[in-house]
Amino acid sequence: MNNVEKPPARAYWYAAADDRLAHLKGVSPQGDVKYIASARDTVDDEIEAARLAVCAMRTRRNALAPISVLPPEILARIFELHAIDCPHGKVDYYRADRMNLRFGWIASATHVCRRWREVALDHPRLWGRLAFNMGSKWVEEMLARVKAAPIFVSQKLPYCSPPTTGTVTLMHPAIPSRLSQVQELNFSGYLEHMLPLLTRPAPMLERLELSTDVDMTTQVSIPINFLDNHAPRLREIELRNVSHAWGVFPSRALTELKIAFSINPIPTSFAQFLDFLEGTPTLTKLTLECCIPSASHFINDRVVSLPNMSALTLAGPTTDVIGVLTHISVATSTKLGLSCSSQDLTGDECCNVLPLIMAHLGTNSSRPSSIRMFSLHSVDISTHIMKACRDEITQEGRPVFILEEGVPDVSLRLQCRISTDEREASFLHRICGAFPLRDVRALDVNILHSHCPDLNWVDMFGHCTSLRHLCVSYIPAETLCVALGRPTVEVKQQEHGKNARRKRRAKGPLLFPSLQTLYLHEVNFEIPERYSGDLYAALRSSLKTRLTRKAGLRVLEIEECTVDEDQIEQFEDVVDEVVWDGEVGEMEEEYEEEFADEYYGYGYEEDEFGYDSEDVDVFPW
Amino acid sequence: MPTIVSVDDSTVPGEGSSRLLLLVSSDNKHIVVEEDIMSRSRFISKQVEGFEATSQRHAILLPFSSFVLNKVIEYCSHYRGYYLLEDDPDAAPPGRSPVREWDQEFLDVDRNMLLRIIKAAHYLEIKSLVGSCARAIADMIRGKTTEEMREILGVENDFTPEEEHSPSSKCTG
């Protein structure tokens, strides 16, 4: 630090200003207009220069701030994370801060101070995500700033066919020439004229996503020389309504492949599909939606082993799904997501997939069942979803039903043209009978359509003797309320002694003897859909029976049911804990009318101006 | 370059399986630490390799205070023997990953201390700690306006009016 004594800053700057403007002392408002204008310009110049000097002093001050100790590369790393949090290029015309939204991190990081701006502008990695919706000038600026750093291209092209003589820009002209540094390529829209331009190698490309409009009459194909057949780092491909040959993918190290709605016009065979799988052993995730190669003419017992596959998702006709499952071998840990559709009225064809799933779950062996959670969800009379999970997933002690959370080990969606309740009941019995449910811990039965058949709980789930948590919705809950208190089998015992001639029914085992938690959802206790008696009394009686037989419930949770507060209180006598959402269902209006006065009528406290304290919109002045 | 001073054998105890290092902070505090603990630091590892080449033992002088150094040692001790992806020189630069729970508590310090730790971690080439600190600072500025950022980080607007009014003066020309 320089120890030379300096004059006080204020005095110094006043003196400097006086000195700089000393030659204007003779100029007065009464003088010549020409001289006054010249003097004013001179003062303006001095003010401007002083402003710049202030900026320079602020820069000097900023250099002393703690954040300035960070070297540029660390600051740039922080900006990289900030850019992920607040990406640029977002559009929302209805938001007041739409400009900030559009510029994202650029607006914040480059506007704090000069140093931040310099660091941000000179860090190429920050500029790799090209934002086409910010205009071509910005794209060019970003391409200039990104230098040799990775580029991420995500562009929505027009979905319509370009006019033959038009000048529609389909793709930024610089993209094909910069393919060598593109790390992600995502194009959606009209691709027919664009794909043939991408013929240079893409050695840095890791992810490719191409999609066109599903309704387009002509389908776009990936050309043979796509990316010069050289994209060695390509790991993920996602195609939607884009056709392809199985040998066209420019990488042999794919880990994820997702293809949807691709009607493949390129002559291919099931054998070529198997060749592709065999030549891509790195594949961990495969999804084929409505584009499964047909194995109907493939008469061969060839089976391709895919030991690295962690998730296999197939959606299409049941025969095609079965065709693929028959000719591949995956680890037992692979998560299967299957969606099978068929035209038959009985569901027989759909059920043909069950043995393959059971084989995958290892239920053909003598080992104990591995399924711990099972969910049965009927969307409508002809669409049923089953999900099975090997782990019992709980959150804060409550089971997380696999419908919403996580990926189940097996997800099976069956769609067939079942048209009657009886057929549906038989269909559901077959499915539940096929799944190894004896060791299941959590069960979710969710049938929310009015054609729901009356489930025979004992027949369908009677062997779930280890069940702890049960979640049931709507009509199936009505039969459950009764079944919970009845023995699963009735045992006739011969009495000895003085009652030797009498036979009586002994108590057989209860349904779900280990049940701890019951979740009831959308059950109408007041006017049941199917049950002719008092449903509330039936459930209470069942719970009481369980209590006396030392199989009482710990928790009864009631959501969106038609039930009243008194009934809830009485449930508390027969279970340890009742959790109720407070909904009274259809009785709610009546309830509100009864207590309306309490909320809206007399006696409600008003303030000195005659307004209640909640009324904040109206003031007395 | 760090200053390396020769030390007497008696200064650095231990010659067994877990070797000891002597680290000297800028406030001249001598801190003895097991080499294993500091192996996460590429800077220290390189220094140790240098010692082995000359078969001499040295103290390593570091340009930050003992308070900061102790924090870094605490971090390295916690993750002793753990593989952290961010410290793998062959791994790609990580994207947005959540801060580990322990790191969150560890970095629950005032802003100046956080900045000192990240600077020390950068000097010592501990990429995982740099990453966690950077994440913590990025979280600090997330959702903030430019003015709020200036206030949080103690910097002033030093742009000229022309510079300020363009989103990026160089970008918009």
Least Cα distance to A527 among A561, A497, A558 occurs for A561
Residue B161 has pLDDT above 80, yes or no: yes
Q: Is residue B163 part of a domain?
A: no
Least confident of A68-72, A517-521, B165-169: B165-169
What's the mean pLDDT in A40-64?
A: 94
Residue A590 pLDDT: 46
Are the beta carbons of A74 and B135 separated by less than 8 Å? no
What's the mean pLDDT in A148-158?
A: 87
Are the beta carbons of B156 and A61 separated by less than 8 Å? yes
Q: Is residue B53 part of a domain?
A: yes
- This model of the complex carries an ipTM of 0.85
Residue A2 pLDDT: 56
Instruction: Kindly report the pTM of this predicted structure.
Output: 0.76
Burial string for B10-48 (b: 16+ CB within 10 Å, else e) reads eebeeeeeeebbbbbbeeeeebebbebbbebbebbeebb
Q: Is residue B115 part of a domain?
A: yes
* pLDDT tens string A477-536: 888 998 898 877 655 555 555 555 555 555 678 899 999 999 998 888 888 877 888 888
Residue A168 pLDDT: 42
Whether B118 and chain A come into contact, CB under 8 Å, resolves to yes
Residue A454 has pLDDT above 80, yes or no: no
Q: Encode A229-298 in three state secondary structure.
A: HCCCCCCEEEEECEECCCCCCCCCCCCEEEEECCCCCCCCCHHHHHHHHHHCCCCCEEEEECCCCCCCCC
Q: Is residue A128 part of a domain?
A: yes
Q: Is residue A136 part of a domain?
A: yes
Identify the three-state secondary structure at position A176. Answer: helix
Q: How far is CA A228 from the centre of its chain?
A: 35
**Which range has the top average pLDDT, A266-275, A400-409, A494-503?**
A266-275
Q: Is residue A70 part of a domain?
A: yes
d(CA A163, CA A182): 29
Structure tokens at A435: 């799944």
Model confidence at A268, pLDDT cuts 50, 70, 90, reads low
Q: Is residue B172 part of a domain?
A: no
CA closest to A64 among chain B residues:
B155
| Domains contained in chain B, number | 1
Q: Is residue A78 part of a domain?
A: yes
Strand partners, A604: none
Q: Is residue A462 part of a domain?
A: no
Q: Is residue A93 part of a domain?
A: yes
Shortest Cα distance from B16 to chain A (angstroms)? 38
Q: Is residue B162 part of a domain?
A: no
d(CA A76, CA A109): 10
Measured between beta carbons, the chain A residues lying within 8 angstroms of B111 are 66
Measured between beta carbons, the chain B residues lying within 8 angstroms of A139 are none
Q: Is residue B169 part of a domain?
A: no
Q: Is residue B112 part of a domain?
A: yes
What's the mean pLDDT in A529-552?
A: 88
User: Structural domain of residue A81, as residue ranges?
Assistant: 65-149
What's the mean pLDDT in B67-72?
A: 96
Q: Is residue B70 part of a domain?
A: yes
Whether A530 and chain B come into contact, CB under 8 Å, resolves to no
Residue B148 has pLDDT above 70, yes or no: yes
Closest partner residue to A78 among B116, B134, B167, by Cβ? B134
Residue A312 pLDDT: 96
Residue A217 pLDDT: 60
Residue A37 pLDDT: 92
Q: Is residue A432 part of a domain?
A: no
d(CA B73, CA B33): 8
Q: Is residue A260 part of a domain?
A: no
> What CATH number does the domain containing B45 carry?
3.30.710.10
A332: CB partners within 8 A, 6+ apart: A360, A361, A362
A445: left (phi over 0), alpha (psi -120 to 50) or beta: beta
What is the full DSSP assignment across A557-590? Answer: EEES-B--HHHHHHHTTTSSEEEE----GGGHHH
* pLDDT tens string A320-376: 999 999 999 999 889 999 999 988 777 788 888 998 988 888 765 556 667 899 988
Shortest Cα distance from A198 to chain B (angstroms)? 26
User: Structural domain of residue B17, as residue ranges?
Assistant: 4-155
| Domains contained in chain A, number | 1
Closest partner residue to A62 among B141, B156, B168, by Cβ? B156
Residue B8 has pLDDT above 50, yes or no: no
Are the beta carbons of A110 and B168 separated by less than 8 Å? yes
Residue A207 pLDDT: 95
Element (H, E) at A54: helix A33-62
Model confidence at A1, pLDDT cuts 50, 70, 90, reads low
